[in-house]
Amino acid sequence: MRTVSKYRAVNLRRTMAILIVAVVFLTGLPGIKNDAQAGKGSSFLGGMVAGSLIKGAVERDKERTQAIEHQSYSQPRPVQQAPAPAPAPAPQPSAEARIKELDKLAAGGYITPEEYQAKKKAILDGM
């Protein structure tokens, strides 16, 4: 945002400077006579008016830029939330529940008696 405003002010100044140079050049040409050149001080006064207008435009642009920057920096920034803690792992079922599940598997014929004995021994050894 700051860069855009800076370039806008620079472009405005450059445009106004070109305009002033063009006006001064055209009023200074000897072949062009107009009512503004009738008085000797008219070019001087015209330059003063143009300079005043340009200065006012540049000042307003600066104020606008400062107001935009102030507004953008005075806005509260969003606070980043800490990530939620990872859920605790599910507690292991008790040895009694595991043996009951093992009994159901053996009764249904899903495991052999040897597997049943080996698993039951591992459960009891883990206590």
Same domain, 70 and 99: no
Maximal CA-CA distance, the chain: 123
85 within domain boundaries? no
pLDDT tens per residue, range 18-73: 877 777 766 665 555 555 555 555 666 667 777 777 888 888 888 888 888 877 77
| Same domain, yes or no: 8 and 44 | yes
In angstroms, the CA 106 to CA 59 distance is 90
State which residues form the domain around 44.
2-74
pLDDT tier, 9 (very low <50, low <70, confident <90, very high otherwise): low
Is residue 85 very low, low, confident or very high in pLDDT (cuts 50, 70, 90)?
confident
User: Across the chain, what does the average pLDDT equal?
Assistant: 75
Rounded to 5°, the CA angle 102-107-109 comes to: 100
Task: Give me the amino acid identity at 98.
Answer: R
Same domain for 111 and 68?
no
Residues 58 and 117 in one domain: no
The more confident residue out of 102 and 29 is: 102
pLDDT, residue 82, reads 77
Q: What is the pLDDT of residue 118?
A: 92
Kindly state the average pLDDT of the residues 87-106.
85
User: Measured between alpha carbons, how far is 2 from 10 in angstroms, rounded to an integer?
Assistant: 12
- Give the total number of structural domains in the chain: 2
Pair 7, 52 in one domain: yes
- Interatomic CA distance for residues 90 and 99, integer angstroms: 18
Residue 110 and residue 56 share a domain: no
